[in-house]
Chains A and B, each alone.
Chain A
């Protein structure tokens, strides 16, 4: 089974980025005075956070700085750690932007969908009135006109049904926002960890947090995506789409 960290690291495109992230892992471990296992944990989590945030370029820069630690004074090392901690905190601005954009998208699709429902409903009423008017003007005749009015109106119900897409995409974007909040919280935890070694034990593992997000996946497609991101080749089967108990 592939862990989320390993999976995220596997998506790195450049050797430079891998080296940079490895440097973060090594540096974090050395500065924290921890062992090899902690090195992998801290490095892996930092790598995951940076990759998930799409901020690998910043990761490269931080890795470069940390890689040049030889010969630095303890004060300089502390400053570098604070800098990393500060950068992590600032990344939250990006995840917040993602959530804000998501909200804008759902607000605009909601307004558009409501406008379309209103328009379709009005068209349907007008077509019904047209049919009645034709009947009144030419009772028993004008079958071609009535058939035409029916044909124009026939796709309306199907179109109304298709507007459910708005609710579905809204729920999907809401889920992404919840995921970004998890990343957010983890970045706060990591930033605190860099500044306060005693917080190590209190910080929840990113993998655990990621796995908890599965509970929020209500759609089969979401759950399949989550399994894939966790490195699992699992495709869940959902029950019938319509079922009377």
Chain B
């Protein structure tokens, strides 16, 4: 059974292109256009094996989402990758402190993305 990856980004282009890339690589993809939407899906029973989230989103930011997920039952250790245009070390440290799993700066080459995803989900 393929792993499910939840992508969280307010950009429709990013959501669709990442979905296509990950789907082609054999993953099941769920999408959320905001941090709130992602949190709702997770509390509603979605059980992804990995979350990939943007940082800068209207409303709940990616960092806030990570903090919220870490308080959810059973999701304390769920891998969460941050994919963002943000390049400041302070933000990177903030994500690390919120217990993000990794950090990728956009634009991300599909090969780099898949390499990291497969490191985290070796069984696909």
A-side residues, CB < 8 A to B, are: 110, 113-114, 117-118, 120-121, 124, 156-158, 160-168, 170-171, 218-220, 223, 236, 238-239, 241-245
Assess the B92–A114 pair: CB atoms within 8 A.
no
From known contacts A243-B103, A245-B101, infer whether A121 and B20 are also in contact, taking CB-CB under 8 Å: yes
Question: In the docked arrangement, what's the CA distance between A20 and B117, Å?
Answer: 60
User: Chain A residues near B89 (CB, 8 Å)?
Assistant: 238-239
Residues of A within 8 A of B103 (CB): 239, 242-243, 245
Bin the interface of chain B by size: 35 or more
Tell me how far the C-beta of B111 lies from the nearest C-beta in chain A, rounded to whole angstroms.
8
Sampled A-B contacts (11; CB under 8 Å): A114-B13, A163-B13, A164-B107, A164-B108, A218-B85, A241-B104, A241-B105, A242-B103, A244-B101, A244-B119, A244-B120
Shortest distance from the beta carbon of B82 to any chain A beta carbon, whole Å: 10
Q: Name A160's contact: one of B20, B87, B102, B120 (CB within 8 Å).
A: B20
| The one of A157, A162, A166, A223 that contacts B11, using a Cβ cutoff of 8 Å | A166
Bound CA span A124–B21, Å: 11
- B92 closest partner in A (C-beta): A239
- Give the shortest distance, in Å, between A12 (CB) and chain B (any CB): 33
Min CB distance B72 to A, Å, is 20
* Residues on the B chain within 8 Å of A162, using CB: 107
B102 engages A157 (CB within 8 Å): no
Give A27 to B14 CA distance when docked, in angstroms.
Answer: 52
The chain B residue sitting closest to A112, CB to CB, is B13
Cβ contact within 8 Å between A238 and B85? no
Complex interface: chain A residues within 8 A of B101 (CB): 244-245
Partner of B112, one of A163, A223, A239, A241: A241
Which of A114, A168, A243 is in CB contact (< 8 Å) with B85? A168
A239 to B11 alpha-carbon distance, docked (Å) = 24
User: Would you call B123 an interface residue if the criterion is a C-beta within 8 Å of the partner chain's C-beta atoms?
Assistant: no
B56 touches A245 (CB 8 A): no
Whether the Cβ atoms of A245 and B96 lie closer than 8 Å is yes
Is the CB–CB distance between B107 and A245 below 8 Å?
no
**Nearest B residue to A162, CB-CB:** B107
0/1 string, B37-64, CB within 8 A of A gives 1:
0000000000000000000100000000
CB distance from A160 to the nearest CB of B (A): 4
Tell me the chain B residues, 107-123 only, with Cβ under 8 Å from chain A: 107-110, 112-113, 116, 119-120
- Given A120-B20, A218-B87, A245-B95; 15 other pairs, CB 8 A cutoff: A117-B13, A117-B16, A117-B20, A158-B109, A161-B17, A161-B21, A166-B11, A167-B106, A168-B85, A239-B92, A239-B103, A242-B105, A242-B108, A243-B102, A244-B101
Q: In the complex the two chains form, is B108's CB within 8 Å of A124's CB?
A: no
Set of chain B residues within 8 Å of A223, measured between Cβ atoms: 87-88
A158 and B107 CA atoms in complex are apart in Å by: 12
A124-B24, A157-B24, A243-B103 known; A218 vs B56 contact (CB < 8 Å): yes
- Whether, in the assembled complex, B86 has its beta carbon less than 8 Å from a beta carbon of chain A, the answer is yes
B7 within 8 A of A: no
* Nearest CB in chain B to that of A245: its residue: B96
Does B12 make an interface contact (CB < 8 A)? yes
